[in-house]
A = this chain, B = another copy of it.
Amino acid sequence: MTLHHFTPTRYYNTHGSHEPALRIQPGDTVITTTVDAMGQDERGESIAERPNPQTGPFYVEGAEPGDTLVVHLDSLTPNRLSGWSSQILAPSVLEPWYLPRLPWEVDRQDAAWHVDVAAGTASLVEPLGRLGNFTLPIKPMLGCFGVAPYGNQAISTMTSGQHGGNMDYRGFVAGVTAYFPVFVPGALFSLGDGHALQGDGEMSGSGIEISFEAQFTVDLRKGKRSSWPRGENDDYIFTCGNARPLDQAVQHASTEMMVWLNEDYGLNAREAAMVFGYCVEYDLGNMFDPAYTMVCKIPKRYLP
């Protein structure tokens, strides 16, 4: 139950079997920082490379392939006043005929936001036409985090998979417990890409990107096999499927949920199908990357 204050000195742009940055025990808590999606730290200085540089990896003692890693997100707090965002929509989420009508090539510079954590808002620094200093409530979340993938792979942090990665799901806020399949000894958890807020799908290719102070606590479910990232908050259990098209992301998330209902809640196939069929909700995670993310949720209040 050690509390670690960890200051990162290097960052990775893949989820892979990199040299561990710190070794921790199940039950330990880590307080650390993350840089933003392009590598800027709390002073706005560029200290790491694009895309989505990761703090870590953290080697969790005792984690073995076939286990599930538990990561409780204790707190996620923007640690500077300025965020940035893209101003352009992902071409893949609009009908092809419409694309030439957007101001694509002309002007792709990012927008700057003033992020006021105390007030809980983000506001455009430069007023934009009818929106003025457009102001939105913040909801800090982790865009990209996960473990080392199977098969000695190193997967770019610009995409996602069974190991997690750049899922950009608005539900990964402080208070949530995330679960990841363990594919390599130590799991090799890492995190980054904080967003002050984000629309569903990260349709513009970014949230309001910002650096974080982050605190998380790890644990292990020994011998508990899982196939895709899972999560849990006060109201829901949920599963993440990462693939293209969205249909396949739904297949992964839904199957993982059926297995979960069966194994951990003791529902047989018919009972699980009943809960699933009439209580399920879906959220859209990232729809900008090579892999898209769909999240399958079951309200806890309907589970026996």
Contacts and interface: CB of A to CB of B under 8 A. Distances in A.
Interface of A: 13-14, 16, 85-89, 91-105, 107, 111, 124, 128-131, 134, 136, 150-156, 158, 197-201, 203-204, 207-208, 243-248, 250-252, 254-255, 258-259, 266-271, 273-284, 287, 290, 292, 302, 304
Nearest to A195: B278
Contacts of A151: 13-14, 156, 158
Contact of A203 (B100, B246, B276): B276
Contact of A304 (B131, B152, B276): B131
Most buried by B among A85, A88, A200: A200
A270 B103 CA distance: 7
A91 B208 CA distance: 31
B255 A95 contact: yes
A279 B2 CA distance: 39
A186 to B, nearest CB: 18
Given A87-B270, A204-B273, A273-B88, A93 B251 contact: yes
Contact of A245 (B124, B155, B246, B276): B246
A189 to B, nearest CB: 19
B244 A244 contact: yes
A104 B269 CA distance: 10
Nearest to A249: B246
A123 to B, nearest CB: 12
Contacts of A85: 277-278
Contacts of A290: 243
B268 A102 contact: no
Nearest to A134: B274
A278 B204 contact: yes
Contact of A136 (B208, B270, B278): B278
A275 B279 CA distance: 31
B91 A96 contact: yes
A254 B129 contact: no
Contacts of A200: 280-282
